[in-house]
Amino acid sequence: MLAGLLPILVLTALTQAAETTMASDRRPSPKPVAWELEFKFLDPRPIEVQLPGSSQPEVYWYMVYTVVNPGPRSQRFFPIFQIVTEDLRVLDTDLGISPLVFDAIAERHRTTHKYLVEPSKVIGALLSGDDNARESVAIWRQIDLTQNNFCIYIAGLSGESRLIPNPRYDPDRPQTQTLTAPDGRQQVVEVNPRHFTLRKTLAIHYTIPGSPHARATALPQRGLVEWIMR
């Protein structure tokens, strides 16, 4: 069991190390220095879907969005959505969610987003211009959003990146380590990198009002929307 958790623990440690260097490096360039996509979105909200074989509906959170490439060249669009909660839990989307969940979301928004496509089908070359805009949705499976604050980070909307030194790099330690999963598979993990790569990322901050009990049914209130290097 521990072997299966090691890659996650290593990644968490590296992320914390990178965060310590970000105070002066979190701001992107004042003017775009690389390609950048236009991103419009609806605030996240829950939906209940009862899947075949389930005794009761399951709750999913989702964010509907539209992306446009205003540049002169096509760009590969591969968005990465993460929710980071107040207690620093990282919640990733899941491409393996039942198509019935997407169908329920598409039906709810059919009058405003009639060209909505499944998350897996939005990935690929995004041609230039408003006529080639794409509509899709990020979906999270049964997550707990009952704390006061959380942030949604969206990567893959800009080509700007920055290389920064790792303040905890130790030249006397190996840079990689081979870890063995419970099923016997081995994975090489970088545990002592010389540098970190930060990428321009959209950060959307939210607050959920009320008591912990009331927050289970309250809709998030949007706060600051900003570009950061992450």
| Amino acid identity at 5 | L
Q: What pLDDT is attached to residue 184? A: 80
Residue 148 placed within a domain:
yes
Residue 25: its pLDDT value, please?
A: 65
Give domain status of residue 39, yes or no: yes
Question: Is residue 10 domain-resident?
Answer: yes
Q: Return the bridge partners of 62, or none.
A: 45, 139
Please give the biggest Cα pair distance in the chain.
60
100: in domain: yes
Q: How many CB atoms are closer than 10 A to CB 229? A: 19
Range of the domain at 67: 2-48+58-229
Residue 48's pLDDT is: 94
CB of 210 closer than 8 Å to CB of 148: no
> What pLDDT score was predicted for residue 98?
94
Residue 143: what pLDDT? 84
Alpha helices in the chain (DSSP H): 2-19, 99-108, 212-215
Asked if the structure places residue 53 within a domain, the reply is no
74 in any annotated domain: yes
Q: How many domains does the chain have?
A: 1
The rounded distance, in Å, linking the Cα atoms of 111 and 127 is 24
**DSSP states of 142-205:** S----SSEEEEEEESSB--EEEEE-TT--TTS-SEEEEE-TTS-EEEEESS-SEEEEEEEEEEE
Per-residue pLDDT of the chain (230 residues; tens, 9 = 90+): 434 444 444 444 555 555 555 555 678 998 889 999 999 999 999 999 999 988 899 999 999 999 999 999 999 999 999 999 999 999 999 878 999 999 999 999 999 999 999 999 999 999 999 999 999 999 999 788 878 899 999 999 999 999 999 888 889 898 888 888 777 888 888 888 888 899 999 999 999 987 777 676 789 999 999 999 99
3-state secondary structure of 56: coil
Residue 112 lies in a domain: yes
- What CA dihedral angle connects 134, 208, 230 and 194, to 10 degrees? -140
Closest to 1 measured CA to CA, from 193, 179, 195: 179
pLDDT at residue 18, as a whole number: 53
CB-based contacts of 187, cutoff 8 Å, min separation 6: 7, 178, 179, 180, 181
CA pair distance 143, 1, nearest whole angstrom: 23
* Residue 114, in any domain of the structure: yes
